[in-house]
Chain A
Amino acid sequence: MKANKLKTNDLILQFTAKIVFFIIFFFSIHIFFAGHYTPGGGFVGGLLTSSAIVLLVIAFDLKTVRKILPINYMYMTATGLILALATAAFPIFVGKPFFTHFFDYFDLPLFGKTSLHTAALFDLGVFLVVVGVTMTIIQTIGEDE
């Protein structure tokens, strides 16, 4: 936000944003992992995460947010794409058709018996792409004079 002639004080907005950011962010993580059995998944999760970052952008400004989260969102998009395609392409190496997913049950130390599915990796790719693209759009338009 640009400095106006009259000095504004965004204390309440900035303080609330700091707390609400984490609530939205953790909710987006929850939505992301819930996707397999309940509504949710990579796309909504990604949008929620980027909306949390947008809240920070509104409360502070683009420069500050870039200092807090020094991420190149263009590379994030590319990483997400590569992760998604690599997950889909992995079965080629074991002689299965493209896009075959694998899953199994594991005994994890904290969670107990959990089913892990490679579709989650694909979803993580989608998540990264959605966050990357949304933030690229907002940053590019925001910085445009």
Chain B
Amino acid sequence: MINFLLFPILITFFTGMILIFFQKNIFMQRSISLISLATATICAFLVMLQVQREGIQSVTFGNWPVPYGITMVADGVSTLLVFTSLLLAFFLIWYSFGSIGKEREHFFYYPGIMFILTGVNGAFTTGDIFNMFVFFEVLLMSSYLLIVLGGEKKQLRESIQYLLVNIISSALFVITVAYLYSVVGTLSMADISVKIAEINQPGIITTIAVLFLVVFGLKAAIFPLYFWLPSSYAAPPIPVLALFGALLTKVGVYAIMRTYTLFFVHDIAFTHQLLLIFAVLTIIAGCIGALAHFDVKQIIIYNIVIAVGVILFGAAQMNFDGLEGAMFYLIHDMIIKAALFMLVGIIIYITGTSDLRKMGGLMKKYPSLGWFYLIAAFGLAGIPPLSGFIGKLLIVQGGFAAGNTGTSIFILASSLIVLLSVIRIFLYAFWGKEGQTVQIQEKTYKQLYYPTVILVVISIVYGVGAEWVTPFMDAAAHVLTDPSVYIEAVMKGAQP
């Protein structure tokens, strides 16, 4: 079945459309979206297995020959990301049953989630640079809906800022693609890679590489383009925040990794050195923010920025270990960020505040929540055998192999600050004197608690069972280190 790799995208897309018809029927909305997400996740898993077994899958729309049509490519990298994002979305939807509120559910909350998943998974799977832009817009439009849905004053203010930043970066994206098209004359990603190799990356292509770094850096929040992220992400309700934190910046990170390993590989001394410097600066900026705040949401939001820096540091090494580490860390970070936002969300719901200084003593009433939070915090910092360990280990190993000793040690040191920032939440919220709490219903608490706990358990399994995941990561890193694998798989049967 040649179209099978499209199923995870198509199922969510269709569901989003059908859900528009059930605007007022919340039960239907919930059950349809849950069922279709489960189906899409299973499909994504099967696609992942198929790619592992038979190699890279690709389909070109409309039966056109390869560089002329839009190609969708499922390789090790994209299938892993698609599967993870659908899995996270399943638990996030479950979590939002108890937390998002009826008013929002009536106003296209679930279709918004479905369309954002279409955009995210499409951007992961596409093999055409302009099609990637279109999928970026799909996910951004849906994120505009989700960020403003509810119409609180704070949401309205932050959504204007978010819109402005993203419109500017989208315009820059179009301009950059126009430059690239005028130089190489093609939009298919495999073909662009071939053409750039033919002309051996002259100065103008390096300029375009830097422009792409600016464009995707605005989406992925790297230093100094992360200024919009902390305030924008604090505005929407928790399930939306978790969805954004787990998926949206990672699309930008994926796009940087893809373009910097497939297109711009002939002048590494300049472009990847630049990427490395920005990655380190991003980590510093994130660490400062994560320590500076007493607001639980802000602490985790700044941890997104740190993780983006770590992943890009791994990607900048351009060796097998560094890239495999970046993939390990990317998937780990998606899972753990969703879990942490959900945990922090529960803390906010039961204390009624996001200010750490007003909390305290939750351990007596909610012991299991406390210990699961501690596990998630240790996982984020990368304490073995939890999930963050293997990725960071490989990234640092790659850094040493590439001769970046000082910066690699800095990455290790930054883990301490990450640990400090999340342990502060544990100390303030769970230890100490009893702070303020609000009464929430047992049923609501359970609706929030179970998906969160399952996600934390998944992150533990991901860390402990790294052996099972390694073959997939190997395949992903193999595609990233050697662009010719990708090009050959896509261009087979292409016209000369």
B61 sits at the interface (CB 8 A):
yes
**B27 near A: Cβ within 8 Å?**
no
How many residues on the B side are at the interface (Cβ–Cβ under 8 A)? 18
The interface stretch among B11-19, B420-428, B474-482 is: B11-19
8 Å CB contact of A99 from B13, B17, B62? B62
User: Are A97 and B61 touching (Cβ within 8 A)?
Assistant: yes
Contacts of B1 in A (CB 8 A): 95
Q: Which residues of A contact B270 (CB under 8 A)?
A: none
Whether B10 pairs with A89 at a CB distance below 8 angstroms is yes
What total of chain A residues lie within 8 Å of the partner, measured CB to CB? Answer: 17
Cβ contact within 8 Å between B2 and A97: yes
Is B117 part of the contact surface with A, judged by Cβ < 8 Å?
no
Note all chain A residues with C-beta closer than 8 A to B13.
85
Q: Within the complex, which residue of A78, A89, A91, A98 is in contact with B20, where a contact is CB–CB below 8 Å?
A: A78
Set of chain B residues within 8 Å of A89, measured between Cβ atoms: 10
Question: How far, in whole Å, are A91 and B14 apart by their CA atoms in the complex?
Answer: 16
- Give the residues in chain B near A92, CB-CB below 8 Å: 3, 6
Given the known interface contacts A97-B3, A98-B3, A98-B6, the answer about A85 and B17 at a Cβ–Cβ threshold of 8 Å is: yes
Q: Which residue of B lies closest to A89 (CB)?
A: B10
Q: Is A62 an interface residue (CB 8 A)?
A: no
- Measured in the bound complex, the distance between the Cα atoms of B23 and A92 in whole Å is 29
- Whether, in the assembled complex, A28 has its beta carbon less than 8 Å from a beta carbon of chain B, the answer is no
Chain B residues within 8 Å of A116, by CB:
none
CA distance A96 to B3 in the complex (A): 8
Interface 1/0 per residue, B52-91 and A, CB below 8 Å: 0000000111110000000010000000000000000000
For the complex, what is the distance from the CA of A89 to the CA of B63, rounded to whole Å? 13
Output the least CB separation between B39 and chain A (Å).
15
Most buried by B among A78, A89, A96: A78
Cβ contacts B27-70/A at 8 Å (1 or 0 each): 00000000000000000000000000000000111110000000
By beta carbon, the residue of chain B nearest A93 is B3
Contact B20 A74 (CB under 8 A): yes
Contact B63 A75 (CB under 8 A): no
Closest residue to B2 on the A side, CB-wise?
A97
- Tell me how far the C-beta of B24 lies from the nearest C-beta in chain A, rounded to whole angstroms: 12
A97 touches B17 (CB 8 A): no
A contact residues around B62 at 8 Å (CB): 97-101
* Distance, CA A97 to CA B62, complexed state (A): 6
Whether A24 sits at the interface, judged by CB under 8 Å, is: no
Nearest CB on A from B272, distance (A)? 35
Assuming the contacts A74-B23, A75-B20, A98-B6, asked whether A82 and B63 have C-beta atoms less than 8 A apart, the reply is no
Say yes or no: is A77 at the interface (Cβ < 8 Å to chain B): yes
Binary interface encoding of chain A residues 9-33 relative to chain B, with 1 for a CB under 8 A from any of its CBs, else 0: 0000000000000000000000000
A55 in contact (CB, < 8 A): no
CB distance from A48 to the nearest CB of B (A): 24
Answer whether residue A81 sits at the interface, using C-beta atoms and an 8 A cutoff.
yes
In addition to A78-B21, A97-B3, A98-B6, 14 A-B residue pairs with Cβ atoms within 8 Å of each other are A75-B20, A75-B21, A78-B20, A82-B14, A85-B14, A92-B6, A96-B63, A97-B59, A98-B3, A98-B10, A98-B59, A100-B62, A100-B63, A101-B62
26 CB contacts below 8 A, A to B, read A74-B20, A74-B23, A75-B21, A78-B17, A78-B18, A81-B17, A82-B14, A82-B17, A85-B10, A85-B13, A85-B17, A92-B3, A95-B1, A96-B63, A97-B59, A97-B61, A97-B63, A98-B3, A98-B6, A98-B10, A98-B61, A98-B62, A99-B61, A99-B62, A100-B63, A101-B62
- List A residues at the B interface (Cβ < 8 Å): 74-75, 77-78, 81-82, 85, 89, 91-92, 95-101
